[in-house]
Amino acid sequence: MEHVISGVAKFQKEVFPTKEARFRKLANGQNPEVLFITCADSRIDPNLVTQTEPGELFICRNAGNVVPPHSNETGGTTASIEFAVAALGVSHIVICGHTDCGAMKGAIAPEKLDRLPHVREWLGHCRSATEVVRARCGELGTEQLDAVTCENVVQQLQNLRTHPAVATGLASGSLTLHGWLYDIASGEVLYYDVESGGFKPMDETYRAAFTSRAAEAVGNSADEA
């Protein structure tokens, strides 16, 4: 804990002064472009991986980067999605899974979670992923961890579409969904390619697609002005 407290002191003395103008602007509100849903795993740092500054990502974290299907029951993830899309107007949502995910290990072997009943119940939201992999591979075990991790991202994207604010954004074309997988050991980030149904390395084609969209949006805004 000592290094955490020391880090606060370093932030206040060395980091904050170099970004003071940004923080003063953020003190009056936020306008993030991206809702970033990822795992609560301590090894994942969304701002570090994406090299973004404070105010650029609206981050929602939980065990297994889970998105419960929309229902009348209110939860933190559901409320965060609704606020990010309907109130803040984010234009992109990223669901980012990662390698060596403990939540996915639990989803594969829920019988080992008897002492963690809340975790076991929460990971019920990942059952569709485990069952798809079981049907595809003919078995389900630790050897299928990577497959389950990838499939979980795909299934959570499906759940995301059931949320009214998200469905509205998709229908109007104001919202784009992304499925990512972060490899802790290599630093590589893969993206889910809808056409192929698989995960691919982020290449210039993927990056260019969104660079051109951003440029087009700026141009449209200028025309309207």
**71-74-76-80 Cα dihedral, nearest 10 degrees:** 70
Q: String of b and e for 47-61 (b: at least 16 CB within 10 Å)?
A: eebbebeeebbbbbb
- Mean pLDDT computed over every residue of the chain: 93
Q: What is the pLDDT of residues 140-155, one digit of tens each?
A: 999 999 999 999 999 9
pLDDT at 207: 81
Residue 223: pLDDT band by 50, 70, 90 thresholds? low
The predicted model gives 177-200 an average pLDDT of: 96
Closest alpha carbon to 38 in 15, 63, 57, 75:
63
Supply the pLDDT for residue 188. Answer: 96
Q: What is the mean pLDDT of residues 109-122?
A: 96
pLDDT of residue 108: 97
Expressed in angstroms, the distance from the first to the final Cα of the chain is: 51
| Residue 205: per-residue pLDDT | 79
- The pLDDT > 90 percentage for the chain reads 88
Cβ atoms of 90 and 58 closer than 8 Å = yes
| CB 103, CB 123: distance < 8 Å | yes
Q: Give the pLDDT score at 153.
A: 98
Give the pair of three-digit tokens for residue 56: 């650029």
Report helix, strand and coil shares of the chain as percent, to nearest 5.
55, 15, 30
Give the domain ranges of the chain.
Answer: 31-224
Cα–Cα distance for residue pair 191/196, rounded to 1 Å: 11
Q: Which pairing describes strands 176-182 and 189-193: parallel, antiparallel, or unpaired?
A: antiparallel
Confidence of residue 218 (pLDDT cuts 50, 70, 90): very low
pLDDT per residue over 60-74, tens digit each?
999 999 999 999 888
Mean pLDDT calculated for residue range 187-202:
94
| Structural fold of domain 31-224 | Beta-carbonic Anhydrase; Chain A (3.40.1050)
pTM metric for this prediction: 0.91
**H or E stretch at 170:** helix 164-172
Q: What pairing do the DSSP bridges indicate for beta strands 189-193 and 198-201?
A: antiparallel
